[in-house]
Amino acid sequence: MNVRDWQNNVDFRVVSLEGASDAILLTADNSVFFTSKETADRLRRGIDALMPAELAQLEALGASQSEQPNRRAIDSKRLLGAQEAVNVNLTAVCNLACTYCFAEGGDYGRIKDRLGLPEADAILDHLARRTDAGQRARFEFFGGEPLLNLDTMEYLCERSLGVAEEKGIEFVYRVSTNLTHLPQRALDLFDRHNFIVSVSIDGGQETHDRHRPSKGGKGSWQRIIDNCRKVRALGDRVTMVARMTCMGGQPSLLEDVRQLHELNVFDWFQIFPGVMPGDAGNGQLRVATDFLRQFNELIGEYDSLFTSESRFRGVLEYERTAQMISEGLAAVSYCSAGRRYSTVSPDKSIMPCHRLVGSTSFQIGDTRDGITANLSDWQANVDERPICDRCSIRYICGGGCKQENWLANNDVNMPPALLCDYQFSLVDGVIATLQKVPAEARRSNWRQLDDLFVSCGRPVAPNERVESGGSSLFEAWQT
C-alpha cells in the first residue's frame, strides 16, 4: 500500500507522550517510531499535511510495511494459535455472592451438579486427541468454586501424568479460585504439579469486601489473604496471579493495586473492567464507573511497581501488549475461545467460552461426540470483521472479548465502542510505559505468558517484520 494512501487511526496511530517526542505505531507490523510533536500533529491531520521532507522519509520507512507482516502472520486459516486448553467447570457451587458475577452465583442458571470422573476421562481424551507430541495442553480449573470439587481435580491431575508420558505432551495446570477454602490436599496438589493459582481478589479489604462478600454478607478478604500466604510459602514453583475486577469508585484502582502489591505474594496481576449487561432489553453494557480514568491513572504509575524488592512481574494484558510491540507479534484473536479453548461442564456440554455456559444456544458439542459445531464465526480474524478491519490496533487487540461483544451487540465479532476505548488506552499507555522502562528489563518474564490466562489464552504469531533504523525525523524505538 502506498504511504500516500495511509490514514490516521487505520494504517497508523499517533500516541501522545510526555517530553519532546510523540510515538507513531504502524499498523502493518506493530512497530513504534518517535517523532517531534510538530510532525506528529501534522500526521494526525493526515498524510497530505506533512512537509515534503517528512513525507519523503515516511515513504522510505513505509517500504518495509508494504508486505503487511501482521496480515500475513494471521492469514492462514490453519493458524488457530496458543495451546490446546480446556476450562474444566468442576462445580456449580460457590460460597461467595459477588455483585457482578456473570455465572449467576456459580451455576450459570442451569448447572446443578459436580463434574464427575467419566467427564474427566473425556476431557483427557479430548486433550490427547488434539495435542501432538512435544506440545503443551492446559487445564483451567473453574466453577463455581473449583476447590469445592477437589476429588475430580486431583483425579484429572494424577491421570494426566500417564497421558503425558504416553503421548509425549506436557500439561500446564491453572486454577481460578476465590481461595476462601484451602484444604491441605489442595496445597499438596499445587506443589506437586507446579500450579498457576489465579486468585479472584479485587484489591484492598474495603474494595474487595464490598464486591465479593460471602453468601451471608460477611467480608472474605482476610481469609483469602491468609490462604494466599500459605500458597506463597510453597515457593517459586507455584505462580500466583491476582485477578482483579475493577468496579470503579473509591479506593481507586491504583490504590487497590498498591495494597495488593505491598503484600508481595503475587507474581502477576490481571485487571479487567467490570462489565455487566445493561437494563433488561436495551442491548447495552454497563462498565465500571470511571474505569478509564482510573486505568489511565494506574498506567501512568505502572513503571513504579517494578522494584528490586518486589516479586511483581507485571499486569498480564499490559505485558502481552508490550511483548507484541517489542518482539513483532500479531494477535491471531483476542482469545482462544472457539479455536483451541473450550469449556466442559457437569452436564456434559462443551461451550466455546466459559462465560457463555449459561446460554445453551452457544453449545458446540458434548463429551460423547466432542466438538461438532461449525466454529467459523469464532475463528474469523480481525481483517474479516466489520469495525475491526479499519482499526489501527487490530493486530494487537485481536477484536475484543467475544462474550462482551455479544452482550453489547448480539454478535461475537462486533466490539462495543466503550471497550474499544479501553483497548486504545491500553496500547497508548503501554507505549508510554515502554518509553520509561526498556523492554529488556522485562523480556525474561514474557516467556511465561503463553501458560497464563492472558485474555483467555490470547494466541499470537510472529509477524517476521523487518526491523528498520528509521530516519532523522522518525527515530526507531530500540527494542
Q: For residue range 328-380, what is the model confidence (pLDDT) as tens digits?
A: 999 989 999 999 999 999 999 999 999 999 999 999 999 999 999 999 989 98
Among 170, 60, 166, 4, which residue's Cα sits nearest to residue 469? 60
Q: Identify the helix (H) or strand (E) that includes residue 317.
A: helix 316-327
CATH of domain 84-371: 3.20.20.70
Distances (CA, A) of 3 to 45, 61, 474: 15, 9, 14
What is the overall mean pLDDT for the chain? 90
- Taken in order 115, 119, 120, 123, the sign of the CA dihedral is negative
User: Residue 281: is its pLDDT beyond 70?
Assistant: no
Segments making up each domain of the chain, as ranges: 16-75+376-476, 84-371
Q: For residue range 32-62, what is the model confidence (pLDDT) as tens digits?
A: 999 999 999 999 999 999 999 999 999 888 8
Q: How far apart are CA 52 and CA 50, in angstroms?
A: 6
Mean pLDDT of 144-169: 96
Give me the pLDDT at residue 394, please: 97
Q: For residue range 308-335, what is the model confidence (pLDDT) as tens digits?
A: 899 999 999 999 999 999 999 999 899 9
Among 252, 182, 248, which residue's Cα sits nearest to residue 211? 248
C-alpha cell at 261: 502489591
Q: How far apart are CA 308 and CA 318, in angstroms?
A: 20
pTM: 0.94
C-alpha cell at 173: 495446570
Number of residues that make up the chain: 479
CB atoms near residue 300 (< 10 Å):
14
Q: How far apart are CA 54 and CA 49, in angstroms?
A: 10
Give me the pLDDT at residue 282, please: 46
Q: How far apart are CA 403 and CA 409, in angstroms?
A: 10
Give me the pLDDT at residue 479, please: 47
Q: What is the separation of C-alpha 390 from the centre of its chain, rounded to a whole number of angstroms?
A: 22
Give me the pLDDT at residue 277, please: 67
Under the banding of pLDDT at 50, 70 and 90, the label for residue 135 is very high
**CA angle in degrees (0–180, nearest 5) for 91-94-100:** 120
Q: For residue range 67-104, what is the model confidence (pLDDT) as tens digits?
A: 889 999 988 655 677 789 999 999 999 888 888 887 78
CB 24 within 8 A of CB 33: yes
User: Residue 437: is its pLDDT beyond 80?
Assistant: no
Mean pLDDT of 402-419: 89
CB 404 within 8 A of CB 281: no
Give me the pLDDT at residue 470, please: 74
Give me the pLDDT at residue 418, please: 84
